[in-house]
Structure 1
Amino acid sequence: MNAGHSTTPPPVSLVYAGVSNGWAQWIAWVLGQEDCPVTHVRWSPLSPLPDMAALEDFFGRPGRVLLVLDDWYLRFDTGRNQQWAQVLRQVMPRLHDRVGAVTVTTRALPDEAVSLGAVTLRGIGPEEARRRVLAEVGLSPGTPYTRRDEGPRYPEDPPDVTNSPRRNPRFTGREVLLNDVHDTLNAGYGRRVLLHGPPGVGKSQAAGEYARRFASEYDLIWWVPSATKAAAREGFAALAREVGLSEGDQLTGQIEAVQDALKKDEKGRWLVIFDGAEDIDGIAPLLPEGRGQILLTAQNTAWSRHGARPRELPPFDRDESVAFACRRAPRMTEAQAGELAAALGDLPLVIDQSAAWIDAHPAADIPRYLTSIRAGEPTDPDPETPVAVPPAHRQVWARTLASLAARSPAVHELLLLLTFFSPDMLPVPLLRAARPSDLPAHLAGSVSQPGNWDAALLTISELASMRVEFATEARQDTTSIVSLRMHRSFRRFIRANLTPEMEREYAATAARVLVASDPGEPGAPRNWHRYAEILPHLEPSGALDSDDGDVRQLLLNCLDYLRVRGEYQDGYDLAHRVLDRWRDTSAPTDSRVLAAAHQEARMLRGLGRYEEAEKADRSILGLLGETGVDSGLELLRAKDDLGATLMARGRYDEARALYEEAAQNATDWLGDRYVPQTLQFRTNLALALGLQGHYQASCTLHREVYDRRVGLLGGRARRTLQSGYYTARMLRLLGRLPEARSLQDYNVRQLRRTLDEAHRQTLLAEHNLALCLRRDAEFEEARAIMRESRKRLIVLSGADHPDVLMVNLDYAMLLRVLGERTKARGLAESTARAYAARLGTLHPYAIGARNNLALLMLDDGETEAAAHLADESTRQLEAAIGRGHVWSLGCAMNSAAALAALGDVEGAAHLGRDALGRAIPAMGAHHVLSANLRAGLALDLRTLGRTEEAAALERIALDTLSASHGPDHDQTRYMRSRARPYWDFEPQPI
């Protein structure tokens, strides 16, 4: 018993409609805090009116009755609701002391409700609302007010994070279905529900009503427009920005960050709604795991294969149709609304549009309108159309269009123009920002003022049943429309009735609007939201078929945006469609056709489809050679792209030859006017040299480019800092640790100031700094830096990105040094598998990863298996890149160690001597790898009793390390202790 009450409070029957569920739950909680028993009585506004005796019996039950009055309760002036007004007038006066009422609507109360003495709960805050609820049932607060995180959310407080559509005040019915969805989502077995049904049945509206009705149960509600995979990915990734997760430049990383955050959320008070999710294969990977809930809307019922429990949304039942039509067109009688519903198959979309027409034409004869709808009589435009919709529906749409054309020609023209954009999210901001010259003169004049735009759009939304969203913040004292949604079947009907000339005119206008909204610089993060906004409209606007140069440049910019964002599949699909169209009307060597072909090849490379990418790159290069196009830049771009593909495929010799040729061509053709481009080709050549294992040549060239860029671009330019990073990396691989660490530390500080701590280039530089620290035996600091850079790279790009795999392998070997062998081995194994899956089992990176794994297996005592894997990977790597490559030599050193552990010391010595003989001419006698090979060979020779030769080799090795690292350096002491030397394979960034 509550300390504030001497006796148990009398029970309360809480009567409410489903639309007030949030208020009912909060009120019940308030009463429960005072130990007041509560019985929920959910009442449907569409329920038949019980007889008077039954009502008196209900209201006369023990305790008190508390009515929650919302908009439905207050419509006592039309139809069957007049009977409720009679109830209030006759029954309530006799039971006034036992019946209380609260109102949760902003509308004025009719006289019948005023007589109840209802108190409002809106706009007063939770503490005052609590006091009023308790007073209405005769109680005073016996406990202090409890904040919402200890109880249900106060209904006027929105979820902490939400972007769900605003409430539809005309939403009608669906009570049983919404309650069923709620029960299913909250059952232990059902956290995914699919709302499915035919077009126009109101799936999106039902999902929106569910989100609003049960909002108090969630801390996060996120609405994801999912008409396409691209839209769904953008919409879901936007949640990362909303909740403050680290942003990256690729959607995959943002998506994975959101999924990880939702999965780890222990409360699970989140709801994600994927609206219009027909592309199951494209959207299913987005669905988050965890304790929260997912609601999908689609016609496709195959979502059940992904754990979604289907709930069919049928057309309205007749009572719902009648109630909805009467609310939409109050002058209709219930009988007329029933006739209309019967003619239209109770489909909400068309009932809404029909009732809107009736409401907009107060002088129109309703019976005649109903007769024409039933007959499907011909109107203008001709309803004979390939769109597969019933004649009555076509009749409704034809009348709507004809009425709009007659009453508001400019608004009608705007509606026709809107059909040339994606119907799922019509680009109102882009249209609003369009230049007058982008629009037909008569349309531009009519909507030249912001208020005219909104008035026109509201007219369209009312007559055509289109969902409208307003800006959350007013601008210039007005609240503007920011989005509009058109039903696809209605859009198809309009487009099917346009003449070819009209189609060409509106398509050209739509394309001009999109071009005007192109911000340029698709690589700049500040512009990404705009390109995401433009993308869905490229196909419906006809932009892909345009031969206008500006439109084609827009398409190229969109391709570049997709590439930068890491959306390689969507980028490839768009590039492929663009090229199919452009090659029919333009020469294959047209500059924009070539640019699209380059983008297609880059997308293939990003997808890991290297063989296809190489074929595409060679096709471009061959075309330029055959046609003799007089453009040095085009030829250099083709060689540059092919070189990148060859490096990704592990064919470093070919890549180097191509880059040497390109670098020389750049110098010969471009001269001093294009020094930045020339330096980029030389950078690529230096990268190829490094991948070949020619560290000294690579370092020299990187240093040369670095110095030139400092003078040309300045020390803080992004390209300059990139060259500094490459130079420091090569210095480290050469064993020149003090120089490498000093330069990399400086480079990291400059990158953090100039770019960002979370920028990819900064994180890769930090990773190299961590490797420098590791070689200097500062293991804990190395771990801290590498762990953080790894985490941020995963957020940026996703767990399978090449940069992440590179850091994974280095982090695994650092964990090995720190003694965390179980974690190290697990990460090394998963990375080796990922490399094999992405690049192929015989790619140098996949082979090198397996050689690292052999070291960990050796640590775990799996000597025989380790020796086999080390030997196999060494032979595979020699076959792939040659026996003289530094990676092959390092793997041979590990293989010799495995043989020695297996007891084959003679074999180990033979292999070590052979590797040393190859290392000296390849790396130099004083390189750290040569020193370690000498030390390993010395260990084996000493075991075999050849102590004199062993001592001589050991002395040379120690002198070498003492000279380069210092006599007290950790690596020198390690060698002096006669511990077995080993080599870690380190992938390089490409």
Structure 2
Amino acid sequence: MAEPISISYAGFNRPWAVWIAHQLELLGHPTAMLRWSPAPGRPLADELSALLEAPDRILLVLDDWFFGLGPREEQEWDDALRTVIPQHGQRFAAASVATNMPVAAAALAPVDLRDLGTVEARRRILTRLGIDPDTPVPPEREPERAPRFPNDPPVIFNTPRRNYRFTGRDDILERLHGTLASGSGAMGQGARIALSGTSGVGKSQIAVEYTHRFGNDYDVVWFVNANYRMTAREQLADLSVRLNLPVGSNIGERVRRVRDALRTGRPYRRWLLVFDSADEMELLDDIIPEGEGHVLITTRTRDWAVSGGAQEIEVPHFTREESVAFARRRAPRLSEDEADGLAEAVQDLPLVLSQTAAWLDSSTMAPAEYIELLREKEPGKVGISIGSDYPMGFLTSWSITLNGMREKTPAAAAMLNLLAFFSPDTIPVSRIVERSDQLPGHLAELAGDPISWHSALRRLSESTAVTIDYRTEPSPESEVEKVRMHRLYHRFLRSDLPEDERDSMSATACRILAAADPRRPTDTREWGRYAELLPHLEPAGALESSDPAVQELVLHCIDYLLQRGEYRAALRMCELTLAPWNIRLEPTHRSMITLVHRHAEALRNLGRYHESEAAGRRLVEVLRPVRDEEDPSVLTARNGLGGALLGLGEYEAAREIFDDIREKYSDLLGADHPRTMSVRSNLAVALALLGRYQDALEIHKDVLVERERRLRLRHHQTMTSGNRYAWMLRLLGRYEEAHARQQRSVTLHRQVMGEHNPQTLRAEHNLALCLRRLGRLTEADTLMESVVERFTQVQGPRHPETLMVEADYATFLREHRDLHRARELAESVNRRYEAMLGEQHPFTAGTLGNVGLALWPTGDWQEASEIAELALTRMTAAVGSAHPWTLGCALNAAAARNRIEEPEHAEELSRQTLDTVKEILGPQHPMALSAMMALADDLRSLRRAQEAKKVEREAMQVLSETLGSDHPHTLASRRRERPYWDFEPQPT
């Protein structure tokens, strides 16, 4: 049997130990892993000798941590090595990745593995252990998945810099690794772990250390700041670029592509995502990926474990042993007793221990004196007195630090106060330097001197909970890109400032943000800048600012969110801003008008039509007494109100509004002005919803031609007009032409906007409906199912557009595939429409009729008839007796009457329906031909065969001439299948 070997390593360089163990096991050498963690206070020679209790030969993996744990003086290491190694030299071997070793370590004859490739590193290790490196590896020992060579990082590695003072937590890290490696996640695949604990306990530091210590287990390691939803989505979306996914600029599309790639394991199955500071589960759960990879969440709550499908690992305070080791590494001048006293004074809370040890490391105060101040727990004695809702020891230690900084480096203290008015997770110091003209004099002078500026940042990093992120590329302004501050300190700093200084710092932060506003929220090239600015608006106080430039920035950020389709985030920002602006601004102030309009728009885009209508109507009522009817703000407000009315089913009222606005814009700006074109397009949508398809078609065609002339073909408004024009062609029965246009439109949408953009999905949905009408059922089925899935991902299961595509898919399933699923989906859609819009809304009535159709194949004609009659009654009340939707409901009700042996009533309704359809849609429209075939069926039931034959012959002739003799509609009529009508909810 090959010689067994034990490998001793410090946790910091576990990847080397794992890789070496793998190389040995391939050659048949059993290995054991011995984590090196010398106990404080125990002689180092005894700790080294304890390794000899292992019966095997011992390989020491030496790194700077190996010698730094404890900490121990170099002299103690030299003495211990000289005592132990000569006596047992044959038992020890060593490999080194250390940059600095005690002199006596030479006795171990370590092989240096730094900066080597896999082959040479393996050769040196095996040679040092007396193993022939050319020994062949038996094929049966070659594993499917081997540890990555430590000098080869993961393919994608994005995580904060490693904390080289990290101490302890080995048990938690090993437990975390074991749980994740087991893949025993509550999701049924992969694993999802929540590190929970109080603020300042070190959850984030553990997560960062895990990514470095165990990162080589993965192909992808990605760290996400999850304290703010938009930031989390932006950072997750950024992974799409690193994964080389074919996506555009739409953040929702990029997030979905990333989640799909992780779920399917293409291109990488081994991935780790860390969501740091994810304290609001309901805002983030929809972006957490599933799949075979691992998710690590740090949080102050237990929500992820209770209802988020995550296993929980609670992070406690440091053990006293960990506290002492950490304090002595952070402040080497501390004795073991002094470190113990410091740990006791701060109750072993890692964040406060780091703060206090950092202060002692840079101060000349006697440790005993400082510890006594902490034990008194009276921050007022050192000049600060605030609330007591912070951990014990925190107030006093931070007070001492602040006072010392104010006395010795006032500029750094002032800078720290300013930093507290930006988001603590990503403070944009580079922007502060770029906008130094917005700073008070003393800070402007500091920012204007790169050396002094960097020195002050270094001072903050060394003595406070501020972490520096350096630029990846050199810059003449500053080497530092961003800094991060622990939120506990962030809250304390803001609450500690006097009110006048707080107002001053808030105004300064707001001016810096406003000066960075690109002022082009609809320009996709500037979206990255807005994503950067967005998290700072609340901390800076921008939402409460009375500065016009800052108010404009807030509105631009809301516009950015709306353009990106981030409707929930836009609504939240509107609601947060409305309260302070209602106090500071008049209702007719330009900024206030815009904000209310955006609020109504966000509500409308989320399907909350009643609230949007109320907000829009209030705005119109506020403006009318003080503005002319032609005033642009009044017209904009009325246009938004019209959009809400469309959603509520008040189509005629919306049409009147749009028609009036169109006329006024034409007089003010001209018939071909973009605003006029936009309102004309809205007018056409209203006409289509009123069943006036030909009128709508003509307007959409005019707008499309004008936009093609004035705008590029790939402009989103041009493409919208193309979609709407093709939609009308289909509703008018011009299926071939509609399909040809929509096919080209879909190709263009996919190229320009990506496959998950809502506008692309609307285009694909219409294409699927065109394919269905042409009888290309396999293609229609595949595309429609894909659209339903993506709309649910994009908009959520209760969004009106999701219900729209699900309604159409339910009717397709009923006709062509799965009756049980079709009925369930039809009933679900109808229930959700009724809950959202009420039972009197035309969409609720129409989808109720679809539920009745789902009963036809079961033969339950009595219930089907009752539902059909109710749908007809409600649709008539909603849109009138001459609307195509009402006529479609009548077509179905007549069929049900026929089947329950009421042929006279069926014939009467069929004849009325036919006459009205011919008048409204024309005698050659597919619905008119369906009504003719239905009437012929009723006439046969009444034994009026000759009359039925005449009507049927006429319908068949027109069907063959218009749709073709092989069209599914023509073939079904030839088989004398009773015609029916599916309700299709229309885009509003």
Scaled by the length of structure 2, what TM-score is found? 0.91
Moved more, 363-372 or 549-558: 363-372
Deviation at 1:593, TM superposition (A): 0.2
Is 1:870 matched up with 2:868? Answer: yes
Q: SS where residue 538 of structure 2 aligns?
A: coil
Q: Could you say which residue in structure 1 is the equivalent of 2:623?
A: 624
Q: Could you say which residue in structure 2 is the equivalent of 1:154?
A: 149
Alignment of 1:55-454 (within 5 A): 56=49, 58-59=51-52, 61-75=54-68, 79=72, 83-105=76-98, 107-141=99-133, 142-143=135-136, 150-187=145-182, 188=184, 191-245=191-245, 247=247, 255=255, 258-265=258-265, 269-306=270-307, 307-361=309-363, 363-375=364-376, 382-386=383-387, 388-389=389-390, 392-432=393-433, 434-448=434-448, 453-454=453-454
Aligned mates of 1:76, 1:711 — CA distance in 2: 72
2:339 alignment partner AA: A
Cα distance change on mapping 1:609 and 1:51 into 2, 3 Å = closer
Moved more, 658-667 or 618-627: 658-667
Alignment of 1:27-42 (within 5 A): 27-42=20-35
Query: 2:613, 2:644 within 8 Å by CA — same for their partners in 1?
Result: yes
Q: Could you say which residue in structure 2 is the equivalent of 1:892?
A: 890
Q: Could you say which residue in structure 2 is the equivalent of 1:686?
A: 684
Deviation at 1:368, TM superposition (A): 4.1
Q: In the TM superposition, what whole-angstrom CA distance separates every residue of 1:46-93 from its partner, at most 9, and x where no partner exists?
A: 466479688557427543111122222223996477545433111112
Cα distance change on mapping 1:356 and 1:62 into 2, 3 Å = closer
Moved more, 484-493 or 48-57: 48-57
Aligned mates of 1:736, 1:57 — CA distance in 2: 87
2:492 alignment partner AA: F
Cα distance change on mapping 1:59 and 1:755 into 2, 3 Å = closer
Cα distance change on mapping 1:604 and 1:746 into 2, 3 Å = closer
Deviation at 1:744, TM superposition (A): 3.7
Cα distance change on mapping 1:175 and 1:610 into 2, 3 Å = same
Query: 2:70, 2:325 within 8 Å by CA — same for their partners in 1?
Result: no
Deviation at 1:517, TM superposition (A): 2.0
Q: SS where residue 410 of structure 1 aligns?
A: helix
Cα distance change on mapping 1:855 and 1:714 into 2, 3 Å = same
Aligned mates of 2:514, 2:477 — CA distance in 1: 27
Q: SS where residue 194 of structure 1 aligns?
A: strand
Matched residues, percent identical? 39
Q: Could you say which residue in structure 1 is the equivalent of 2:916?
A: 918
Q: Could you say which residue in structure 1 is the equivalent of 2:536?
A: 537
Deviation at 1:939, TM superposition (A): 2.0
Query: 1:76, 1:84 within 8 Å by CA — same for their partners in 2?
Result: no
Q: Could you say which residue in structure 2 is the equivalent of 1:459?
A: 459
Is 1:951 matched up with 2:940? Answer: no
Cα distance change on mapping 1:48 and 1:930 into 2, 3 Å = same
Q: Could you say which residue in structure 2 is the equivalent of 1:775?
A: 773
**What RMSD, in angstroms, separates the aligned Cα atoms of the two structures?**
3.4
Query: 2:45, 2:83 within 8 Å by CA — same for their partners in 1?
Result: no
Cα distance change on mapping 1:426 and 1:185 into 2, 3 Å = same
Moved more, 325-334 or 521-530: 521-530
Cα distance change on mapping 1:149 and 1:85 into 2, 3 Å = farther
Moved more, 187-196 or 118-127: 187-196
Aligned mates of 2:556, 2:47 — CA distance in 1: 70
Deviation at 1:17, TM superposition (A): 2.5
Cα distance change on mapping 1:453 and 1:946 into 2, 3 Å = farther
Cα distance change on mapping 1:247 and 1:223 into 2, 3 Å = same
Cα distance change on mapping 1:148 and 1:865 into 2, 3 Å = farther
Q: SS where residue 626 of structure 1 aligns?
A: coil
Aligned mates of 1:138, 1:379 — CA distance in 2: 66
Cα distance change on mapping 1:799 and 1:26 into 2, 3 Å = farther
Q: In the TM superposition, what whole-angstrom CA distance separates every residue of 1:894-940 from its partner, at most 9, and x where no partner exists?
A: 33334445555444333322322332333233322111101121123
Q: SS where residue 539 of structure 2 aligns?
A: coil
Cα distance change on mapping 1:956 and 1:398 into 2, 3 Å = same
Is 1:9 matched up with 2:2? Answer: yes
Query: 1:45, 1:73 within 8 Å by CA — same for their partners in 2?
Result: no
Q: SS where residue 538 of structure 1 aligns?
A: helix
Query: 1:851, 1:891 within 8 Å by CA — same for their partners in 2?
Result: yes
Q: Could you say which residue in structure 1 is the equivalent of 2:857?
A: 859
Aligned mates of 1:27, 1:222 — CA distance in 2: 26
Cα distance change on mapping 1:259 and 1:725 into 2, 3 Å = closer
Q: In the TM superposition, what whole-angstrom CA distance separates every residue of 1:405-455 from its partner, at most 9, and x where no partner exists?
A: 3444433322111011121222234334x3232222332332236665544
Cα distance change on mapping 1:199 and 1:57 into 2, 3 Å = closer
1:193 alignment partner AA: I
Cα distance change on mapping 1:72 and 1:833 into 2, 3 Å = same
Deviation at 1:603, TM superposition (A): 2.0
Q: SS where residue 41 of structure 1 aligns?
A: strand
Q: SS where residue 593 of structure 1 aligns?
A: helix
Query: 2:412, 2:456 within 8 Å by CA — same for their partners in 1?
Result: yes
1:690 alignment partner AA: A
Q: Which ranges in structure 1 are unaligned for 5 or more consecutive residues?
A: 1-7
Aligned mates of 2:705, 2:841 — CA distance in 1: 34
Moved more, 114-123 or 837-846: 837-846
Cα distance change on mapping 1:49 and 1:594 into 2, 3 Å = same
Q: Which ranges in structure 2 are unaligned for 5 or more consecutive residues?
A: none
Aligned mates of 1:710, 1:778 — CA distance in 2: 30
1:929 alignment partner AA: M
Q: SS where residue 627 of structure 1 aligns?
A: coil
Q: Could you say which residue in structure 2 is the equivalent of 1:4?
A: none
Deviation at 1:150, TM superposition (A): 2.2
Query: 2:227, 2:277 within 8 Å by CA — same for their partners in 1?
Result: yes
Aligned mates of 2:463, 2:143 — CA distance in 1: 41
Q: SS where residue 386 of structure 1 aligns?
A: coil
1:300 alignment partner AA: T
Aligned mates of 1:334, 1:186 — CA distance in 2: 37
Cα distance change on mapping 1:45 and 1:896 into 2, 3 Å = farther
Is 1:566 matched up with 2:558? Answer: no
Alignment partner of 1:940 out of 915, 919, 938: 938
Query: 1:195, 1:298 within 8 Å by CA — same for their partners in 2?
Result: yes
Aligned mates of 1:39, 1:620 — CA distance in 2: 74
1:118 alignment partner AA: P
Moved more, 264-273 or 570-579: 264-273
Q: In the TM superposition, what whole-angstrom CA distance separates every residue of 1:588-639 from its partner, at most 9, and x where no partner exists?
A: 0111101111111122223332222211111111111233457621111111
Aligned mates of 1:723, 1:243 — CA distance in 2: 34
Aligned mates of 2:725, 2:81 — CA distance in 1: 85
Cα distance change on mapping 1:843 and 1:289 into 2, 3 Å = farther
Cα distance change on mapping 1:186 and 1:836 into 2, 3 Å = farther
Moved more, 760-769 or 370-379: 370-379
Aligned mates of 2:44, 2:733 — CA distance in 1: 94
Cα distance change on mapping 1:475 and 1:53 into 2, 3 Å = closer
Deviation at 1:717, TM superposition (A): 4.2
Query: 1:253, 1:798 within 8 Å by CA — same for their partners in 2?
Result: no
Q: Could you say which residue in structure 1 is the equivalent of 2:640?
A: 641
Deviation at 1:977, TM superposition (A): 3.6
Q: SS where residue 221 of structure 1 aligns?
A: strand
2:132 alignment partner AA: S
Aligned mates of 1:480, 1:559 — CA distance in 2: 32
Q: In the TM superposition, what whole-angstrom CA distance separates every residue of 1:784-818 from its partner, at most 9, and x where no partner exists?
A: 55556556555654555444443343344445555
Deviation at 1:12, TM superposition (A): 0.8
Aligned mates of 1:287, 1:746 — CA distance in 2: 35
Deviation at 1:488, TM superposition (A): 2.5
Cα distance change on mapping 1:812 and 1:198 into 2, 3 Å = closer
Cα distance change on mapping 1:298 and 1:748 into 2, 3 Å = closer
Scaled by the length of structure 1, what TM-score is found? 0.91
Query: 1:251, 1:797 within 8 Å by CA — same for their partners in 2?
Result: no
